[in-house]
């Protein structure tokens, strides 16, 4: 797929407009054999100052693990963007066209305590009607696909963000704390059956 193939879509994605304010997302990770290994919810607080978009992402996983990522994304010319985050190696690069964003970066994936592995993410986002943003990312190493991440984003209104049912106040999963994993990397225990990634329990 190429961004030029969908640049004439009727829907128009403006990254900094969509992610300004509060957004909630629901996602899952499938290994290369199609097995769902992790599910998660992300609460995102976005701020755009006219030059830089800062996304503060709070992850809650179904196993009880919590994690945080802060993206700093800069808008460049001709629909292009570049960004950085605490667990990203180098600079992420992206291009917007029509209703889509193509985003590529290298993730410093934690695979065990004190051990990380650099993996490539090829990430596509597609704006849908009613403010829904669909996200599909392929994770690979040395050209070998390790798995896919699927995420659906939805805007959280300012009114609802002040209610008890707001994303920031919800408990996304009922968790037995005695069985919860200890905090680690964003996709630790994704269990892709790759020899360097531990199986999930």
**Cα–Cα nearest to 190, from 152, 141, 143:** 141
In CATH, 3-161 is 2.40.128.20: yes
Query: Which residues on neighbouring strands pair with residue 110, listed in sequence order?
Result: 116
pLDDT at 2: 81
Tokens 């225990």 sit at which residue? 189
Does residue 143 come out as left (phi exceeding 0), alpha (psi in the -120 to 50 range) or beta?
left
For the chain, which residues make up each domain, given as ranges? 3-161
Q: In Å, how far are 61, 107, 115, 159, 188 from 38, measured between CA atoms? A: 7, 17, 20, 31, 9
- CB neighbour class for 49 (10 Å; exposed up to 12, middle 13-18, buried from 19): exposed
Is pTM beyond 0.75? Reply is yes
Contact (CB, 8 A) for 190 and 30: no
Contact (CB, 8 A) for 1 and 104: no
Q: Could you read off the pLDDT tens digit of each residue along the chain, which spans 201 residues?
A: 788 777 778 889 999 999 999 999 999 999 999 999 999 999 999 999 999 999 999 999 999 999 999 999 999 999 999 999 999 999 999 999 999 999 999 999 988 888 999 999 999 999 999 999 999 999 999 999 999 999 999 998 765 544 433 333 445 554 443 333 333 344 434 333 333 333 443
């Amino acid at each position: 797929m190429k961004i030029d193939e969908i640049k004439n879509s009727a829907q128009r994605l403006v990254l900094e407009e969509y992610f300004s304010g509060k957004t909630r997302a629901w996602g899952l990770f499938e290994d290369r054999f199609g097995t769902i290994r992790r599910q998660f919810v992300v609460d995102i607080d976005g701020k755009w100052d006219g030059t830089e978009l800062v996304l503060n992402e709070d992850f809650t996983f179904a196993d009880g693990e919590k994690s945080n990522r802060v993206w700093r994304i800069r808008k460049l010319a001709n629909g292009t963007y570049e960004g950085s985050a605490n667990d990203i190696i180098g600079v992420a690069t992206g291009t917007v066209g029509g209703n889509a964003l193509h985003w590529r970066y290298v993730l410093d994936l934690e695979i065990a305590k004190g051990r990380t592995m650099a993996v490539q993410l090829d990430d596509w986002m597609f704006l849908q009607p009613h403010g829904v943003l669909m996200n599909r990312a392929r994770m690979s190493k040395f050209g070998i696909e390790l798995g896919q991440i699927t995420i659906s984003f939805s805007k959280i209104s300012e009114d609802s963000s002040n209610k008890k049912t707001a994303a920031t106040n919800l408990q996304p999963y009922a968790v037995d704390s005695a069985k919860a994993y200890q905090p680690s990397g964003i996709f630790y225990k994704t269990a892709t059956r790759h020899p360097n990634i531990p199986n999930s329990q």
